Amino acid sequence: MPQPSLMQRAGLASAKLVLAVAPHAQRIWVACGPGNNGGDGLEAALHLKQWGKQPLVTWLGHADTAPADAASAYQRAHAAGVQISTQLPDQVEVVLDALLGLGIQRREPSGELAHAVQHMLACAAPVVAIDLPTGLSADSGAACQLHVNAHHTLCVLTLKPGCFTAQGKDACGTVWLDDLGAGELMRTMAAAMPSPDAMLAAAPALQARPHASHKGSFGDVAVIGGAPGMTGAALLAARAALYGGAGRVFVSLLDAMHPGVDMSQPELMFRPVEALDFSACTLVCGCGGGTAVAPLLPRILAAASPVVLDADALNSLVQQSDLQQQLAKRAAQGLPTVLTPHPLEAARLLACSAPDIQANRLQAARELCAMFNCTVVLKGSGTVIASPGHTPVINPTGNAKLASGGTGDVLAGRVGARLAAGQSAFHAACHAVYQHGLAADLWPALQPLTASALAKHAS
């Protein structure tokens, strides 16, 4: 007996997911595009019909011009009595989006396709997308202005990077994967296949501290920043480093009028920047640093210590080419350096706009990594970590609770604590970002999340 085609398997998997998320639904609109994604939808409709459901198919293809597998799926669905119409249905209980999938080429949907998407957006029924919601880029997560917002997305064969970054997390809803039985074949052919575009970050393994430990076992972190009016940023980074497990945390504030103690966190030790031994600490620089941090960067980058550059330290890199040369020297010496830009800071570094960064976050992170030859944490929805010699990683944790002032400073301090404990720049960044986002995911739904609270719960 011949094995089912990949399209037939995709259709079966999609129909099963529809049944799983809406087991009692009867009227199911299957919106099929003209290509292979539409063929997947036609196969799904065939199964739904056989299971006693009422699939209502709209197909934008034609039997004489469709791809061979899609045309064959149409013939089977038609022969089985599946209702296929040019009229967009009303009062449906579930929608199966099989319009484009991978077929989007960053062009706005138009004509009948746009009309179908608009009708889908107006439906109150839950939407299940096959492979990708229509209008979303598989590689970048950038969405067309007119795109489908699915409640569930079934990726077939492999997960798509665009589902996890930029607009992808909003557009895809809950993401599922079915390798269609090809997983074992893909593993055996792995050596001959191209490297993945990205990997999903995994939860870091938590290890108990050895009993025979002391504060020197976990390294020192020095936070340099906090210019006048911005001392809170440096204090947030320092608290995050402390709660992240650093043995000792020093704070060098660039505001001459600062108090000599943090009364809410007296474990933090305040030092003038001139008194710090840069070679003995992991340095977290730039949090609230303003313009005052720029003169310190040559000395900081010359130190034989791990360095995290955030906020105003990154802005200084744009303005001083000699600092970029120092970063290159650090890389040549094997000294760990982590940059933690948000999209606007990344845009300044790459001489483009923030929308340009958001249009392809994965590529932007790669470019920054190549430019500075160090680990880059491009913050945002689906934070991207790019590091020399590693496949880029997209972080799956986090939510909009992190969209408040100071959470980026907390992340910088958390990365610093991981570096101080002896992790590589890549692993320190991946682990810190994952835990940072997980803290937001576990935060009570109706309770606001502030950066100061996050600093104590990001470990």
Q: Tokens 């313009």 appear where?
A: 291
Q: Tokens 């991981």 appear where?
A: 418
Specify the DSSP element, H or E, that contains 261: none
Q: What is the pLDDT along the chain (459 residues), one digit of tens a residue?
A: 678 899 999 999 999 999 999 999 999 999 999 999 999 999 999 999 999 999 999 999 999 999 999 999 999 999 999 999 999 999 999 999 999 988 766 678 999 999 999 999 999 999 999 999 999 999 999 999 999 999 999 999 999 999 999 999 999 999 999 999 876 656 655 555 566 889 999 999 888 888 988 888 889 999 999 999 999 999 999 999 999 999 999 999 998 887 778 888 899 999 999 999 999 999 999 999 999 999 999 999 999 999 999 999 999 999 888 999 999 999 999 999 999 999 999 999 999 999 999 999 999 999 999 999 999 999 999 999 999 999 999 999 999 999 999 999 999 999 999 999 999 999 999 999 999 999 999 999 888 999 999 999 855
Structure-token pair, residue 385? 């970590």
pLDDT for the residue 107: 75
Residues facing 98 on adjacent strands = 32
Interior CA angle at 43 toward 42 and 45, to 5°? 65
Q: How far apart are CA 222 and CA 151, in angstroms?
A: 44
Structure-token pair, residue 300? 């900081």
Specify the DSSP element, H or E, that contains 174: strand 174-178
Count, residues in the chain = 459
Specify the DSSP element, H or E, that contains 250: strand 248-253
pLDDT for the residue 319: 83
pLDDT for the residue 429: 98
Q: Report CA Rg, the chain.
A: 26
What are the backbone angles phi and psi of residue 74, rounded to the nearest 5°? -60, -45
pLDDT for the residue 256: 81
Q: Cβ neighbours of residue 130 under 8 Å, at least 6 residues apart?
A: 10, 14, 37, 40, 41, 44, 96, 97, 98, 101, 154, 156
Q: How far apart are CA 308 and CA 338, in angstroms?
A: 5
Q: How far apart are CA 386 and CA 276, in angstroms?
A: 30
pTM of the shown model:
0.94
Task: Give the dihedral of Cα atoms 40, 44, 47, 51; nearest 10 deg.
Answer: 170
Structure-token pair, residue 352? 């483009």
CA distances from 217 to 159, 242, 413, 421 (A): 40, 14, 18, 8
